[in-house]
Amino acid sequence: MILISGAAILLALLLAGWGLASALEGIVMRGLDQRLDSEIAVLASAVDKQGAVDRTRIAQRRGLLEPEPGWRWRIAGPDGVIGSDDFPPLAAPHPPDPIARNSVPGPPPGPNPVEPPHPAEGRTEQGARIHARQIAIASTRGPVTIAAAAPRAVVARPIRAAVVPLLAMLAGLGVLLAAASLVQLRLGLRPLRRMRDQVADIRAGTRARVDEDQPTELRPLAAELNALTADSERALTAARASAANLAHALKTPVATLALDLANDPPRTEQVARIDATIRHHLARARVQLGTSRAATALRPAIEDLAHAIARIHADRGITITTDMTDALMVAIDAQDLDEVAGNLIDNAARHARTAVAIMAVADGRQIRLSVTDDGPGIPEADRIRATQAGARLDEGGDGHGFGLAIARELVALHGGELMLDEAPGGGLSAIVTLPRAARTE
């Protein structure tokens, strides 16, 4: 819009400048023609009915006939040609110009004008252009042609003197119009920017709806956004209720089946895999229609998980440390946060040799959470496969290959990302970005 506005302003100013320059040239040219016609009238008054020229009369008016260097005159009649010595040849006479004819009060005085004065153009020996006016007068001995000429520079000088400041004014006007267009555009888009920020706040969990007190054109959009938000909330509630009901319905049969097969290790392993698969798909169902309006304090949740997992691996002497401020809030509910962070911390603890380090920092509108262990790590070629459902790089371990997959999908469904990287000094560093629930300092 700014480019189109700027191009339109530039084109309009160019057309205005061209039009004003053309109009100014026409005014100056008409003034010059009137001066030349006045000279022709003086010259014609010195010609009698027989075509004879009163040279004394012309000599008396010499200052009027040649007011400036470069002005010329000529009379060609039965007695020969008199006038300026360097009068150049003129182009073929033009047809009478109605505009020029109307600009002159009437035919110049003389015996018998054949036609009104008409314009003509010529060039001097040095190549300079001249503008002339000429007329034919009938006498008893034949026609007498009278011409008066002036340098074209007489027209160019006043036009140049007027056009230069005019162009400067037009350039200044163009800058002002462009600035006004930019300000108008920014003011016009301000309600959209405000609505964008409100939608971002809804995603961050700091508000539930956008303001409907908007300009007339945006009110229907605000109403539709609020309706969409309400529909999403209802769908989320229904999805979570369905997931909870399904989890409750499957929990008892699976537990009973595990007890019945307690003495059959291979089948117990299969039941455990079924349980992990059910939990995996229920976690996906729980956030398929998820929202980021929830706000969970990060530090208490992480410290509770770290304490619980440290107790599970107490026999191995694994130390789990945390480093984060109390102000960090994530736009994800506590259950989903436990699922993500719990899988990452448990995976790190199972593969760590002695220690696991957990750190979180704010990064713009997101929070960056890293879980680092000092274990063997994962080769770069296997890191993508490690986050796929059911993938187990360590077949000798006690996991089922769903932990990192669940964490990756939950993070992605909340608008974040899970990355696996090599930790400084060896080991694995799992880094997740989570949406930030509120501005923190």
Beta carbons of 391 and 382 less than 8 angstroms apart: no
CATH number for region 2-158: 3.30.450
Residues 199, 225: Cα–Cα separation, whole Å: 9
Q: Which residues contact 91 (CB under 8 A, 6 or more apart)?
A: 120, 121, 122
Indicate the pLDDT class of residue 282, thresholds 50, 70 and 90.
low
Instruction: Give the separation between CA 117 and CA 96, rounded to whole angstroms.
Output: 7
> What CATH number should be reported for the domain whose range is 292-441?
3.30.565.10
Q: Measure the CA–CA gap between 226 and 229, rounded to whole angstroms.
A: 5
Please determine, for residue 140, whether its predicted confidence score (pLDDT) is greater than 90. Answer: no
Most confidently modeled range among 103-112, 280-289, 306-315: 306-315
Q: 18-32, 255-269, 302-316, 358-372 — which is least confidently predicted?
A: 255-269
Are 118 and 97 in contact by the 8 Å Cβ rule? The answer is: yes
- E strand spans, 298-354: 319-323, 329-330
Work out the widest C-alpha separation in the chain, in whole angstroms: 147
Q: What are the sequence ranges of the domains in the chain?
A: 2-158, 205-291, 292-441
Q: What is the C-alpha separation between 284 and 406, in angstroms, rounded?
A: 8
Residue 109: what pLDDT? 46
Rg of the chain's alpha carbons, rounded to an integer? 48
Task: Read off the tokens for 255.
Answer: 């537990």
What pLDDT score was predicted for residue 304? 92
Query: What are the pLDDT digits (tens) for 199-253?
Result: 888 876 678 888 888 888 888 998 998 888 888 878 777 776 776 677 667 766 7
Which residues on neighbouring strands pair with residue 275, listed in sequence order?
none
pLDDT at 293: 57
Q: Closest Cα partner for 324 from 337, 311, 312, 339?
A: 337
Task: Give the model's pLDDT for residue 106.
Answer: 44
Three-class secondary structure of residue 54 per DSSP: coil
The least confident of 94-103, 120-129, 333-342 is 94-103
Give pLDDT, residue 29.
85
pLDDT at 409: 80
pLDDT score of 360 more than 90:
yes
124 contact partners, CB below 8 Å, separation of at least 6: 86, 88, 130
**E strand intervals along 93-167:** 118-123, 129-137, 144-151
pLDDT band at 320 (very low <50, low <70, confident <90, very high): very high
Global confidence as pTM: 0.43
Across 42-57, average pLDDT: 86
* 308-322: average pLDDT: 90
Tell me the pLDDT tens digit for each residue of 189-210: 888 888 888 888 887 667 888 8
SS3 at position 149: strand
Checking if the pLDDT of 416 tops 50, the result is yes
Contact, 434 vs 292, CB < 8 A? no
What does the pLDDT read at residue 279?
67
Is 70 exceeded by the pLDDT of residue 111? no
The whole-number pLDDT of residue 205 equals 67
Quote the pLDDT of residue 103: 40
Question: Pairing state of beta strands 72-77 and 80-83?
Answer: antiparallel
Q: What is the pLDDT of residue 251?
A: 65
- Judged against a pLDDT cut of 80, whether residue 160 lies above it is answered with no
Tell me the pLDDT of the chain averaged across its residues. Answer: 79
pLDDT (tens digit per residue) in 51-92: 888 888 888 777 777 777 888 888 888 888 888 888 888 875
Paired tokens of 437 = 């629930």
Report whether pLDDT(314) > 70. Answer: yes
**Distance separating alpha carbons of residues 202 and 395, to the nearest angstrom:** 43
In angstroms, the Cα distances linking 189 to 133, 200, 211, 373 are 61, 17, 16, 49
Output the pLDDT for position 373.
Answer: 92
